[in-house]
Chain A
């Protein structure tokens, strides 16, 4: 294990006893400071489970996870990470500003300090002027940006993102990808990004972890050596296509090994049961 690792995963296995499903089997990987790592794989490969294990929202059956050199549990209690879900999970009864301030309230910040940070965060995600709107008054893309601002408000060293743009249309998604990269450059935090879009994974990441289902295993890791900062032109870089192909090849190997979808639905049920 690497001493500098922000996240260190050592031999993690997760079985859902009720459904008798192995969601993760012997996963080991280290994430270094400032890395942008995508987890990709067919549904049921355990990528969301792995993200939740890192965030101590699910306990692994065996193996250890350290975050910032603490156990995942201690790291959660120390609020070392921010998390963004596929649905923005904004509180309808709170304004944009108050949604962003939620984790700060829980940290016991006073009103003035909260207001300052909210101002910085709305500027960061380019939502200044929308502070007093309620979530339902915003488009899906804007809601997700509020959700990102909320996750970043506590200045976490680690940002966990579970298919954050999966429910958005292609155009919004591309714009938010660029914005996320800008924020990532600006803050220098480490990002774990779950997705099932190959091009999104390659475009955003410094490394792509390809996972296979039943049981969830790491199939391979693709280093993305595309130049930074990534721009719209990155999509036209021949190296981009090579890397997309490399990831696709890894995923195709998984597909051909699959025969039927019954196990997959079992695993999904098991994930929902937790």
Chain B
């Protein structure tokens, strides 16, 4: 046919931006950013010690250890004749990851289901949404012990209780964005579905849910990191020693002796959060098919 003017994406991977080159460029920009952060840290350290500045805090080996000492401590025994710190922390991270993954799965599904429910009823939205918002204003530290003790008395394993706390923190953005996403469907497309005499269930699955996916996924990215934070914070007041929360508590006590250990734990915790974020991003790339200009 004559007007076969096929636009961009077919020749998207032109010669000057091959996938390998793109990956290389991305990796080097990440490395550059890390190096810059390292430089900033060390420069700040050096300046404050050199000029004897005490504002906002005194800088010394305890408050700001060298980055290379922090990274180095990962590869030293955590205690005399014990395993390397990195082994201990990876075990803890794995434990926390399990809690967070289960919590994220619960939070995401409950959040989505709640969003679907609220999107279909203005009345329900007005009645329930304020309480959902209020639920997020309660400090997680205040309810975490109650959840662990309460669920524990029902025979629920401690780590599952932590997952529940993590879910509590991650469902909220999913609910809010699901409601928005479901209501973002093109009115013309809704008219089209009506012309096909499609019932509400069909409209939901064939139109509203696919339309909502970009919204839902941007919420899932937030929820993924929130679930890690929720798991760590959930461990703190419930004295669960196996996860990163336990490690943080432990190293916190010995901070004046070994500040590097706590910093190293924070580093691992951050990496865990980032890997959750990236996992959602990868799934999003696979699932959400949109015009390039519509992709966030």
Q: How far is the CA of A82 from the CA of B197 in the complex (A)?
A: 11
- Tell me, yes or no, whether A29 is within 8 Å of chain B by CB: no
Known: A87-B188, A92-B291. A138 touches B198 (CB 8 A): no
Stretch in A100-108, A234-242, A256-264 touching the partner: A100-108
Encoded as 1 (CB less than 8 Å from any B CB) or 0, chain A from 72 to 105 comes to: 0000111101110101010111000000001101
**A142 touching B291 by the CB < 8 A rule?**
no
**A142 touching B4 by the CB < 8 A rule?**
yes
Give chain A residues whose Cβ lies under 8 Å from the Cβ of B10: 137
Give chain B residues whose Cβ lies under 8 Å from the Cβ of A91: 189, 207, 210
- Tell me, yes or no, whether B87 is within 8 Å of chain A by CB: no
Within 8 A of A (CB), among B183-208: 186, 188-189, 191-192, 194-198, 202, 206-207
Question: How many Å from the CB of B224 to the closest CB on chain A?
Answer: 22
Question: How many Å from the CB of A94 to the closest CB on chain B?
Answer: 8
- Tell me, yes or no, whether B289 is within 8 Å of chain A by CB: yes
Q: How far is the CA of A121 from the CA of B195 in the complex (A)?
A: 19
Question: How many Å from the CB of B295 to the closest CB on chain A?
Answer: 10
Within 8 A of B (CB), among A116-136: 126-127, 133-136
Within 8 A of B (CB), among A171-185: 172, 175
**A134 touching B3 by the CB < 8 A rule?**
no
- Tell me, yes or no, whether B283 is within 8 Å of chain A by CB: no
Question: How many Å from the CB of B292 to the closest CB on chain A?
Answer: 7
Chain A, Cβ-Cβ closest to B290: A92
Question: How many Å from the CB of B291 to the closest CB on chain A?
Answer: 3
Chain A, Cβ-Cβ closest to B193: A106
**A85 touching B6 by the CB < 8 A rule?**
no
Question: How many Å from the CB of B195 to the closest CB on chain A?
Answer: 5
Q: How far is the CA of A189 from the CA of B191 in the complex (A)?
A: 22
Question: How many residue pairs between the two chains, A and B, have CB atoms under 8 Å in the bound complex?
Answer: 77
- Tell me, yes or no, whether A55 is within 8 Å of chain B by CB: yes
Known: A92-B290, A93-B289, A93-B290. A55 touches B195 (CB 8 A): yes
- Tell me, yes or no, whether B122 is within 8 Å of chain A by CB: no
Contact of A93 among B9, B288, B292 (CB under 8 A): B288
**B3 touching A141 by the CB < 8 A rule?**
yes
- Tell me, yes or no, whether A139 is within 8 Å of chain B by CB: yes
**A137 touching B196 by the CB < 8 A rule?**
no
- Tell me, yes or no, whether B1 is within 8 Å of chain A by CB: yes
Q: How far is the CA of A136 from the CA of B293 in the complex (A)?
A: 10
Question: How many Å from the CB of B24 to the closest CB on chain A?
Answer: 28
Chain B, Cβ-Cβ closest to A82: B195
**A137 touching B9 by the CB < 8 A rule?**
yes
Q: How far is the CA of A65 from the CA of B289 in the complex (A)?
A: 40
Known: A85-B188, A89-B188, A138-B7. A79 touches B289 (CB 8 A): no
Question: How many Å from the CB of B238 to the closest CB on chain A?
Answer: 42
Chain B, Cβ-Cβ closest to A136: B291
**A76 touching B290 by the CB < 8 A rule?**
no
Within 8 A of A (CB), among B275-296: 288-292, 294
Interface, chain B (partner A; CB < 8 A)? 1-10, 186, 188-189, 191-192, 194-198, 202, 206-207, 210, 213, 288-292, 294
Interface, chain A (partner B; CB < 8 A)? 52, 55, 57, 76-79, 81-83, 85, 87, 89, 91-93, 102-103, 105-106, 126-127, 133-139, 141-142, 172, 175
17 additional contacts, CB 8 Å, given A136-B292, A175-B2? A76-B195, A76-B197, A77-B197, A81-B195, A91-B207, A91-B210, A105-B206, A106-B198, A106-B202, A134-B9, A134-B291, A135-B291, A136-B9, A136-B291, A137-B8, A139-B5, A139-B6
